[in-house]
Amino acid sequence: MMLCDVIGTVVSPSEQTPALDGRVLLVVRPVSPTGQNATNKPRVAIDTIGAGVGDRVLVIDEGNSGRQILGAKDAPVKTLVVGFVDEVEMGGRVVYDHRAGR
Amino acid sequence: MLIGEVVGSVVSTKKDEQLESFKLLVVQVRDHGNRPKDQYVVAVDSVGAGPGDVVLYATGSSARQTIITKDKPCDAVVMAIVDSWDVQGENVYEKWSE
Amino acid sequence: MYLGRVTGRLVATVTYPGLEGVKLQLLEPLDEGGQRTGEQLVAACHLNVGPGDLVHYIDGREAALVLPETFVPVDVAITGFVEQLDVNGRAIPQDVQPQDAQPVSDVGSKAP
Protein backbone atom coordinates (compact mmCIF):
# COMPACT_ATOMS: atom_id res chain seq x y z
CA MET A 1 0.00 0.00 0.00
CA MET A 2 1.06 3.57 -0.34
CA LEU A 3 0.21 6.96 1.05
CA CYS A 4 -1.37 9.23 -1.54
CA ASP A 5 -3.07 12.59 -1.81
CA VAL A 6 -6.29 12.75 -3.78
CA ILE A 7 -5.70 15.50 -6.34
CA GLY A 8 -8.52 15.09 -8.83
CA THR A 9 -11.33 13.15 -10.39
CA VAL A 10 -11.76 11.31 -13.68
CA VAL A 11 -15.02 10.65 -15.48
CA SER A 12 -15.23 8.18 -18.33
CA PRO A 13 -18.83 6.94 -18.44
CA SER A 14 -19.33 6.43 -22.14
CA GLU A 15 -16.33 4.30 -23.02
CA GLN A 16 -14.79 2.20 -20.28
CA THR A 17 -14.26 -1.40 -19.34
CA PRO A 18 -17.53 -2.72 -17.78
CA ALA A 19 -15.85 -3.45 -14.42
CA LEU A 20 -15.55 0.32 -13.86
CA ASP A 21 -19.24 1.06 -14.44
CA GLY A 22 -20.72 2.87 -11.46
CA ARG A 23 -17.32 3.32 -9.80
CA VAL A 24 -15.86 6.66 -8.77
CA LEU A 25 -12.37 7.25 -10.16
CA LEU A 26 -9.89 9.53 -8.40
CA VAL A 27 -6.51 10.89 -9.45
CA VAL A 28 -4.08 10.17 -6.61
CA ARG A 29 -0.42 11.12 -6.17
CA PRO A 30 1.94 9.01 -4.04
CA VAL A 31 3.53 11.15 -1.31
CA SER A 32 6.22 10.75 1.34
CA PRO A 33 4.98 10.25 4.95
CA THR A 34 5.27 13.96 5.71
CA GLY A 35 3.38 14.70 2.50
CA GLN A 36 5.95 17.25 1.43
CA ASN A 37 7.09 15.63 -1.78
CA ALA A 38 5.55 13.47 -4.43
CA THR A 39 7.38 10.16 -4.80
CA ASN A 40 5.90 8.77 -7.98
CA LYS A 41 3.71 9.60 -10.93
CA PRO A 42 -0.03 10.00 -10.36
CA ARG A 43 -2.40 7.09 -10.68
CA VAL A 44 -6.07 6.65 -11.35
CA ALA A 45 -7.69 4.76 -8.45
CA ILE A 46 -11.14 3.36 -7.76
CA ASP A 47 -12.70 4.89 -4.65
CA THR A 48 -14.14 2.49 -2.05
CA ILE A 49 -14.46 4.76 1.00
CA GLY A 50 -15.95 8.03 -0.24
CA ALA A 51 -12.71 10.02 -0.40
CA GLY A 52 -12.46 13.41 -2.06
CA VAL A 53 -9.94 15.93 -3.36
CA GLY A 54 -7.57 17.01 -0.59
CA ASP A 55 -7.81 13.79 1.45
CA ARG A 56 -4.74 11.75 2.30
CA VAL A 57 -5.52 8.11 1.67
CA LEU A 58 -4.16 4.56 1.64
CA VAL A 59 -3.96 3.12 -1.85
CA ILE A 60 -3.52 -0.54 -2.67
CA ASP A 61 -1.99 -1.29 -6.09
CA GLU A 62 -2.27 -5.02 -6.60
CA GLY A 63 -4.89 -6.84 -8.62
CA ASN A 64 -5.81 -9.75 -6.39
CA SER A 65 -6.33 -7.50 -3.37
CA GLY A 66 -8.33 -5.10 -5.49
CA ARG A 67 -10.66 -7.78 -6.79
CA GLN A 68 -11.15 -9.08 -3.26
CA ILE A 69 -12.16 -5.69 -1.92
CA LEU A 70 -14.60 -5.09 -4.74
CA GLY A 71 -15.79 -8.70 -4.66
CA ALA A 72 -15.36 -8.75 -8.41
CA LYS A 73 -13.82 -11.93 -9.77
CA ASP A 74 -11.70 -11.51 -12.94
CA ALA A 75 -12.25 -7.74 -13.04
CA PRO A 76 -9.41 -5.66 -14.51
CA VAL A 77 -8.93 -3.58 -11.37
CA LYS A 78 -5.71 -2.93 -9.54
CA THR A 79 -5.46 0.52 -7.98
CA LEU A 80 -7.96 1.21 -5.18
CA VAL A 81 -8.39 3.81 -2.46
CA VAL A 82 -8.99 1.59 0.60
CA GLY A 83 -8.44 3.76 3.67
CA PHE A 84 -8.59 7.27 4.95
CA VAL A 85 -5.40 8.39 6.74
CA ASP A 86 -6.02 9.99 10.14
CA GLU A 87 -2.47 10.13 11.39
CA VAL A 88 1.08 9.31 10.33
CA GLU A 89 3.66 8.94 13.06
CA MET A 90 7.41 9.02 12.49
CA GLY A 91 10.03 8.79 15.20
CA GLY A 92 7.41 9.21 17.93
CA ARG A 93 6.17 12.41 16.35
CA VAL A 94 2.93 12.89 14.49
CA VAL A 95 3.96 14.16 11.04
CA TYR A 96 0.48 14.20 9.59
CA ASP A 97 -2.77 14.75 11.43
CA HIS A 98 -5.94 14.90 9.41
CA ARG A 99 -7.83 16.92 12.03
CA ALA A 100 -5.09 19.52 12.21
CA GLY A 101 -5.24 19.81 8.43
CA ARG A 102 -1.69 18.35 8.12
CA MET B 1 11.72 -9.61 -0.78
CA LEU B 2 13.09 -6.16 -0.22
CA ILE B 3 14.87 -4.38 2.60
CA GLY B 4 13.65 -1.25 4.30
CA GLU B 5 13.60 0.60 7.58
CA VAL B 6 10.45 1.10 9.60
CA VAL B 7 10.18 4.87 9.92
CA GLY B 8 6.65 5.25 11.17
CA SER B 9 3.11 4.03 11.39
CA VAL B 10 -0.24 4.94 9.89
CA VAL B 11 -3.54 5.30 11.70
CA SER B 12 -6.63 4.85 9.57
CA THR B 13 -10.04 4.50 11.19
CA LYS B 14 -12.15 4.72 8.07
CA LYS B 15 -11.01 1.90 5.82
CA ASP B 16 -12.24 -1.20 4.06
CA GLU B 17 -13.45 -3.66 6.73
CA GLN B 18 -11.18 -6.42 5.41
CA LEU B 19 -8.20 -4.25 6.42
CA GLU B 20 -9.30 -3.98 10.04
CA SER B 21 -6.92 -5.48 12.63
CA PHE B 22 -3.88 -4.71 10.49
CA LYS B 23 -1.00 -2.78 12.05
CA LEU B 24 0.29 -0.52 9.29
CA LEU B 25 3.94 0.49 9.15
CA VAL B 26 5.62 3.10 6.98
CA VAL B 27 8.73 1.48 5.51
CA GLN B 28 11.43 3.51 3.78
CA VAL B 29 13.15 1.44 1.10
CA ARG B 30 16.91 0.83 1.41
CA ASP B 31 19.31 0.02 -1.43
CA HIS B 32 21.84 -2.84 -1.28
CA GLY B 33 24.33 -0.64 0.54
CA ASN B 34 21.84 0.28 3.29
CA ARG B 35 21.33 3.78 1.89
CA PRO B 36 17.75 5.06 2.24
CA LYS B 37 15.84 5.79 -0.95
CA ASP B 38 13.13 8.40 -1.41
CA GLN B 39 10.57 5.63 -1.69
CA TYR B 40 8.04 4.50 0.90
CA VAL B 41 5.72 1.55 1.30
CA VAL B 42 2.87 1.09 3.74
CA ALA B 43 3.14 -2.54 4.86
CA VAL B 44 1.21 -4.79 7.22
CA ASP B 45 3.25 -5.93 10.23
CA SER B 46 3.38 -9.69 10.89
CA VAL B 47 6.40 -9.94 13.21
CA GLY B 48 6.05 -7.09 15.73
CA ALA B 49 8.47 -4.69 14.07
CA GLY B 50 8.71 -1.11 15.25
CA PRO B 51 10.29 2.21 14.35
CA GLY B 52 14.04 1.94 13.73
CA ASP B 53 13.96 -1.72 12.78
CA VAL B 54 15.53 -2.74 9.49
CA VAL B 55 13.10 -5.25 8.03
CA LEU B 56 12.40 -7.53 5.10
CA TYR B 57 9.12 -6.98 3.36
CA ALA B 58 7.39 -8.78 0.53
CA THR B 59 5.05 -7.25 -2.01
CA GLY B 60 2.43 -8.47 -4.44
CA SER B 61 0.70 -11.80 -3.99
CA SER B 62 3.53 -12.99 -1.73
CA ALA B 63 2.26 -10.50 0.83
CA ARG B 64 -0.72 -12.77 1.44
CA GLN B 65 1.45 -15.75 2.45
CA THR B 66 1.41 -15.03 6.19
CA ILE B 67 -1.29 -16.20 8.61
CA ILE B 68 -2.52 -12.69 9.39
CA THR B 69 -2.68 -11.61 5.75
CA LYS B 70 -3.90 -14.90 4.25
CA ASP B 71 -6.80 -14.27 1.85
CA LYS B 72 -6.83 -10.59 2.85
CA PRO B 73 -6.46 -7.61 0.54
CA CYS B 74 -2.85 -6.81 1.31
CA ASP B 75 -0.03 -5.97 -1.10
CA ALA B 76 2.93 -5.52 1.26
CA VAL B 77 3.88 -7.35 4.46
CA VAL B 78 6.81 -6.99 6.87
CA MET B 79 7.83 -10.60 7.54
CA ALA B 80 11.31 -10.43 9.11
CA ILE B 81 13.46 -8.17 11.26
CA VAL B 82 17.01 -8.02 9.95
CA ASP B 83 19.87 -8.69 12.41
CA SER B 84 22.81 -8.22 10.09
CA TRP B 85 23.50 -7.99 6.44
CA ASP B 86 26.61 -8.44 4.30
CA VAL B 87 27.34 -7.42 0.73
CA GLN B 88 30.40 -8.91 -1.00
CA GLY B 89 31.88 -9.96 2.31
CA GLU B 90 31.44 -6.55 3.89
CA ASN B 91 29.10 -5.95 6.74
CA VAL B 92 26.70 -3.12 5.87
CA TYR B 93 24.31 -3.46 8.80
CA GLU B 94 24.50 -4.87 12.31
CA LYS B 95 21.47 -4.50 14.56
CA TRP B 96 23.31 -5.05 17.83
CA SER B 97 26.38 -2.95 17.02
CA GLU B 98 25.41 -0.04 19.25
CA MET C 1 -4.27 2.67 -13.40
CA TYR C 2 -2.59 5.61 -15.01
CA LEU C 3 -3.47 8.50 -17.27
CA GLY C 4 -2.28 8.45 -20.86
CA ARG C 5 -2.92 9.72 -24.34
CA VAL C 6 -3.27 7.62 -27.45
CA THR C 7 -0.65 8.73 -29.97
CA GLY C 8 -1.01 6.17 -32.72
CA ARG C 9 -1.98 2.74 -33.90
CA LEU C 10 0.00 -0.39 -34.46
CA VAL C 11 -0.85 -3.31 -36.69
CA ALA C 12 0.50 -6.82 -36.18
CA THR C 13 -0.80 -9.62 -38.35
CA VAL C 14 1.02 -12.44 -36.61
CA THR C 15 0.04 -12.56 -32.95
CA TYR C 16 -0.32 -15.12 -30.20
CA PRO C 17 -3.63 -17.06 -30.41
CA GLY C 18 -6.33 -15.12 -28.59
CA LEU C 19 -5.02 -11.73 -29.66
CA GLU C 20 -6.62 -11.81 -33.11
CA GLY C 21 -8.85 -8.78 -33.56
CA VAL C 22 -7.47 -7.00 -30.50
CA LYS C 23 -6.54 -3.44 -31.44
CA LEU C 24 -3.07 -2.25 -30.51
CA GLN C 25 -2.51 1.44 -29.81
CA LEU C 26 0.53 3.49 -28.93
CA LEU C 27 0.13 5.65 -25.87
CA GLU C 28 2.17 8.05 -23.84
CA PRO C 29 1.85 8.12 -20.03
CA LEU C 30 0.82 11.50 -18.65
CA ASP C 31 1.00 13.23 -15.30
CA GLU C 32 -1.90 15.13 -13.77
CA GLY C 33 -1.04 18.25 -15.78
CA GLY C 34 -1.13 16.45 -19.11
CA GLN C 35 2.67 16.34 -19.43
CA ARG C 36 4.33 13.18 -20.69
CA THR C 37 6.08 11.17 -17.96
CA GLY C 38 7.81 8.33 -19.76
CA GLU C 39 8.42 6.19 -22.80
CA GLN C 40 5.60 5.36 -25.16
CA LEU C 41 3.88 2.04 -24.64
CA VAL C 42 1.93 -0.35 -26.82
CA ALA C 43 -1.45 -1.07 -25.27
CA ALA C 44 -4.14 -3.57 -26.14
CA CYS C 45 -7.48 -1.90 -26.61
CA HIS C 46 -11.02 -3.24 -26.64
CA LEU C 47 -12.72 0.17 -26.55
CA ASN C 48 -13.64 2.74 -29.14
CA VAL C 49 -10.72 5.17 -28.71
CA GLY C 50 -8.17 6.48 -31.16
CA PRO C 51 -5.16 8.77 -31.58
CA GLY C 52 -5.41 12.01 -29.61
CA ASP C 53 -7.79 10.62 -27.00
CA LEU C 54 -7.09 11.02 -23.29
CA VAL C 55 -7.48 7.60 -21.64
CA HIS C 56 -6.72 5.63 -18.50
CA TYR C 57 -4.87 2.35 -18.72
CA ILE C 58 -3.89 -0.58 -16.54
CA ASP C 59 -0.64 -2.54 -16.49
CA GLY C 60 0.51 -5.93 -15.28
CA ARG C 61 -1.50 -9.14 -15.23
CA GLU C 62 -4.77 -7.21 -14.93
CA ALA C 63 -4.32 -5.78 -18.43
CA ALA C 64 -5.36 -9.07 -20.05
CA LEU C 65 -8.57 -9.08 -17.98
CA VAL C 66 -9.82 -6.12 -20.02
CA LEU C 67 -9.94 -8.27 -23.14
CA PRO C 68 -12.53 -10.87 -24.20
CA GLU C 69 -9.90 -13.63 -24.03
CA THR C 70 -8.25 -13.15 -20.63
CA PHE C 71 -5.41 -15.69 -20.82
CA VAL C 72 -3.24 -13.77 -23.27
CA PRO C 73 0.25 -12.27 -23.01
CA VAL C 74 -0.67 -8.62 -22.65
CA ASP C 75 0.74 -6.24 -20.03
CA VAL C 76 -0.82 -2.87 -20.86
CA ALA C 77 -4.46 -2.26 -21.79
CA ILE C 78 -6.68 0.78 -22.11
CA THR C 79 -9.49 0.81 -19.52
CA GLY C 80 -11.44 3.93 -20.43
CA PHE C 81 -11.86 7.11 -22.42
CA VAL C 82 -11.46 10.14 -20.14
CA GLU C 83 -14.36 12.47 -20.75
CA GLN C 84 -13.54 14.84 -17.95
CA LEU C 85 -10.47 15.21 -15.76
CA ASP C 86 -10.36 17.68 -12.91
CA VAL C 87 -7.12 18.16 -11.04
CA ASN C 88 -6.98 20.62 -8.15
CA GLY C 89 -10.13 22.24 -9.47
CA ARG C 90 -8.66 22.67 -12.93
CA ALA C 91 -10.09 20.83 -15.90
CA ILE C 92 -7.53 19.30 -18.27
CA PRO C 93 -8.77 19.70 -21.84
CA GLN C 94 -9.35 16.60 -23.92
CA ASP C 95 -8.03 18.16 -27.09
CA VAL C 96 -4.37 18.88 -26.23
CA GLN C 97 -2.29 17.43 -29.03
CA PRO C 98 0.00 14.50 -28.23
CA GLN C 99 3.57 15.68 -27.83
CA ASP C 100 4.91 12.99 -30.08
CA ALA C 101 2.38 13.09 -32.90
CA GLN C 102 4.05 11.80 -36.02
CA PRO C 103 2.65 10.97 -39.43
CA VAL C 104 1.49 7.39 -39.52
CA SER C 105 3.26 5.47 -42.25
CA ASP C 106 1.25 3.10 -44.41
CA VAL C 107 0.86 -0.45 -43.30
CA GLY C 108 3.21 -2.56 -45.34
CA SER C 109 5.76 0.15 -46.03
CA LYS C 110 9.02 -0.97 -44.52
CA ALA C 111 10.94 1.28 -42.20
CA PRO C 112 14.58 1.68 -43.29
Contact between residue C58 and residue A76 where contact means Cβ atoms under 8 Å apart: yes
Radius of gyration of chain A (CA): 14
Confidence of residue B98 (pLDDT cuts 50, 70, 90): low
Domain A2-13+22-84 annotated CATH 3.40.640.10? no
Distance from CA of C57 to the nearest CA of A (A): 9
Confidence of residue C94 (pLDDT cuts 50, 70, 90): low
Distance of alpha carbon A53 from alpha carbon C89, whole angstroms: 9
| pLDDT score at C102 | 46
| pLDDT score at B64 | 93
For CA atoms B20, A55, C87, A23, give the dihedral sign.
positive
| pLDDT score at C100 | 47
Residue A37 pLDDT exceeds 50: yes
B4-44 confidence digits (pLDDT tens): 999 999 999 999 999 998 999 999 999 989 999 999 999 99
The pairing of strands C41-45 and C84-87 is: unpaired
Domain B2-97 annotated CATH 2.40.110.10? no
C-alpha pair distances (Å), A82 with each of A48, C23, C96: 6, 33, 32
Q: Which of C1, C66, C89 sits opposite A43 (nearest CB)?
A: C1
SS3 labels along chain C: CEEEEEEEEECCCCCCCCCCCCEEEEEEEECCCCCECCCCEEEEECCCCCCCCEEEEEEHHHHHHHCCCCCCCCCEEEEEECCEEEECCEECCCCCCCCCCCCCCCCCCCCC
C49-87 confidence digits (pLDDT tens): 999 999 999 999 999 999 999 999 999 999 999 999 999
> Which positions in chain B have a beta carbon within 8 angstroms of at least one beta carbon in chain A?
7-16, 18-19, 24, 26, 38-43, 51, 59-61, 63-64, 71-76
| pLDDT score at B93 | 93
Quick one: average pLDDT of A64-81?
Answer: 94
Residue C96 pLDDT exceeds 60: no
| pLDDT score at C101 | 46
| pLDDT score at A101 | 63
Which tops the pLDDT comparison, B43 or A36?
B43
Domain C2-89 annotated CATH 2.40.50.220? yes
- The DSSP code for A38 is B
Closest CA to B3 of B48, B47, B64, B58: B58
| pLDDT score at C93 | 63
DSSP-based three-state secondary structure for B60: helix
**CB distance C84–A25 less than 8 Å?**
no
Number of H helices, E strands in chain A: 1, 7
A68-82, C39-53, C66-80, C86-100: least confidently modelled range: C86-100
Domain range list for chain B: 2-97
B69-90 confidence digits (pLDDT tens): 999 999 999 999 999 999 989 9
Residue C18 pLDDT exceeds 60: yes
| pLDDT score at C104 | 44
Distance from CA of C49 to the nearest CA of A (A): 8
Burial class (CB in 10 A: 0-12, 13-18, 19+), C73: exposed
Quick one: average pLDDT of A36-48?
Answer: 89
Residue C108 pLDDT exceeds 70: no
Distance of alpha carbon C35 from alpha carbon C14, whole angstroms: 34
Residue B92 pLDDT exceeds 80: yes
Distance of alpha carbon C97 from alpha carbon A68, whole angstroms: 38
Domain range list for chain C: 2-89
**CB distance A42–C3 less than 8 Å?**
yes
For CA atoms A41, A42, A43, A47, give the dihedral sign.
positive
Residue A102 pLDDT exceeds 70: no
